[in-house]
Amino acid sequence: MAEFKFGLDTFGDNQVDDFGAPITSAQTIRNLVAQGVLADSLGINSINVGEHHRDDFAVTAPDTVLAGLATVTKKIILGTGVTVLSSDDPVRVYERFATLDALSNGRAEITAGRGSFIESFPLFGYDLKDYEILFSEKLELLVELLKEKAVTWSGKTRASLSNQEVYPKTERGAIPLRVGVGGTPESAIRAARLGLPMALAIIGGNPARFSAFSNLYRTSLMEFGKPDLPISIHSPGHISDTDEQAREEQWPHYLRMFGRIGAERGWRPPTKEQFITEIEHGSQYVGSPDTVAKKIVHAVTSVGAQRFDFKYSNGPQPHSKLMKSIELYGTKVIPLVKEMLAS
C-alpha cells in the first residue's frame, strides 16, 4: 500500500496581527512563505496555494509564491489549490510550472479546477456562459501539454496548435496534475476519463456522504481502463492545544469569512451553533491534535482517500496562530493519524 500523504492548503487569506489590526497583503505573502518553510522543516509532504482575485485574499499568482518557496525549501511538494484553469491559458500554465519545477528540483504539482469564485472570468475577459467548455477544453489541452511532446490541438476557447512544442522541458519528463472537484458526478467521471487523480473539496457536512462519489470515480476508472489512482481530501480547520482554545481562536474568523461570502451569495449569517455542529459532525477540523486526528481518520477511511490536505488558513487568522496550527499538525496530528491508520 502506498504511503499516506499529508498536505497543507492555503488561499493566502489576508491576515490580522496578534492585536487584530489588518496587515498588508505583502506581509501576508511573506508570512505564507514562512509557513511553507516551517512545513518543510516538519516533513509535511506538500503545500498547496490557491488563486483568488479579490480583496480578502493576498495571492493572485500562486506559482510566483511557490517559486519563492522553491528557493527556501528542500523537500516539500509545491502545488496549487487550485489553478483556475478556466480563466488561464494552458500553455502559459505549463510554462510557469515547468519553470517552477526547475527552480524546485522537481517538486512542482498542479491542481486544476474551476475555483469557488467567479471574479477571474470578467477580470480576464471570459464569459460565464462558457463556464463548462472553458474548463473541459483547457483541461484536455493541459493533459496533452504535460506529456512534453509536440501538441496538435483545436477547440473553441483558444488558438489552435499544430505540432507545437512548449518549453522548458522538465528534467523528470512530467509534472503531476490533479483535478480539484467539488462534488458533481460529471467532475468525477471526467477525472477518471482523463486518468487524473481526484482532489475532493469537502468543506461541509459529514465526509462519509462523499463515499458514493469516490466509488463512482473508481468505477469509472475501471470502465475507462485506467489504473487505480489516489483520491485526496481538502478540508478546512484550525488546531490548538485544546478543543476549546481552537474553537475560540477560529470562530471570529469563521464568522467574518463566511459572513461575507454568505452576504454575497444570499445565505443567512452563520451562527456559533452551526459552527460547533460542523466541528462535531461535519468538515471543520477544529480542535486539539487528538480531536483533529480522529476526524481525519474518519474522513479518509469513509472516502477511501490516500491523502489529506489540511486547509489551515480560514479567514484573517494571525500568522502566529497559523504557525502554531501547522506545528501541531506536523508534530502531533500526522503521527497520530499514521498510528490510527496502521492499527
Global confidence as pTM: 0.97
Q: How far is CA 207 from CA 8, 250, 303, in A?
A: 18, 21, 7
- pLDDT tens for the chain, residues 1 to 343: 579 999 999 999 999 999 999 999 999 999 999 999 999 999 999 999 999 999 999 999 999 999 999 999 999 999 999 999 999 999 999 999 999 999 999 999 999 999 889 999 999 999 999 999 999 999 999 999 999 999 999 999 999 999 999 999 999 999 999 999 997 999 999 999 999 999 999 999 999 999 999 999 999 999 999 999 999 999 999 999 999 999 999 999 999 998 899 889 998 999 999 999 999 999 999 999 999 999 999 999 999 999 999 999 999 999 999 999 999 999 999 999 999 999 9
Q: Which domains does the chain have, with CATH numbers?
A: 5-342 (3.20.20.30)
Q: How far is CA 40 from CA 6, 101, 109, 201, 324, in A?
A: 12, 17, 15, 23, 14
Question: Which DSSP string do the residues of 143-208 spell out, in sequence order?
Answer: HHHTTTS-EEE--SSS--EEEE--SPPPSSS---EEEEE-S-HHHHHHHHHTT--EEEE--SS-GG
